[in-house]
Amino acid sequence: MITLAQPSMALNAENVPGPDYKMWNTWRVPKGDTPSHVIGWTATVAKGASGGKLNALVINCHGRPAHLSLGTGFGWSEVPLFAGLAGLVDEIYIVACKVVSFGGTADGNLFCGAIAKAAKANVYASNASQTTGLWPSIPYGKIDGYEGKVWKWHPDGSNELTDL
């Protein structure tokens, strides 16, 4: 398990299998919520946190290369919205299947790097299918470990493999 410093926020997609992650602020995001609403509400929550920002944001949803199925969905055209989180979140943990890929129009490596640059935050994601396994629940303030290889993108868009 990965322990996240609080205050952190978990965005659990409405259609993602449980158990949901639980943080200082936890939101089960409805399928009909737009990316601009999701980012806007996250920014509002962050501003209300102690210190005026979040240590971490967890995005828990279905995914595919360069796409997050959170609300109505985040693809390349929604990446600039993450600029609304600049200075409001230190790290973004994307827990979604196979978001990372290399090459082609659905290059998840470039996608995650662009999110990191827009949000001015570190971003973590994997190239494998994700599962919570047989855990009946995930303890408060934690996410289960990633499956597959995990990359960390820095706010300048550069990346490195990490052992998360």
**pTM passes above 0.85:** yes
* Spatial distance between the Cα atoms of 82 and 70, rounded to a whole number of angstroms: 14
Three-class DSSP category at 63: strand
- How many residues in the chain? 164
**Residue 133: what pLDDT?**
73
pLDDT of residue 47: 98
pLDDT at 164: 84
Output the six-digit token pair for 35. 């990316």
CA distances from 20 to 27, 67, 144 (A): 10, 20, 11
In this prediction, residue 154 carries a pLDDT of 98
Structure tokens at 164: 């998360």
pLDDT in tens for each of the 164 residues of the chain? 899 999 999 999 999 888 899 999 999 999 999 999 999 999 999 999 999 999 999 999 999 999 999 999 999 999 999 999 999 999 999 999 888 888 887 898 999 999 999 999 999 999 878 887 777 789 999 999 888 899 999 999 999 999 88
- Distances from the Cα of 163 to the Cαs of 7, 39, 44, 156, in angstroms? 23, 28, 32, 20
Which pLDDT score, from 0 to 100, does residue 29 have? 98
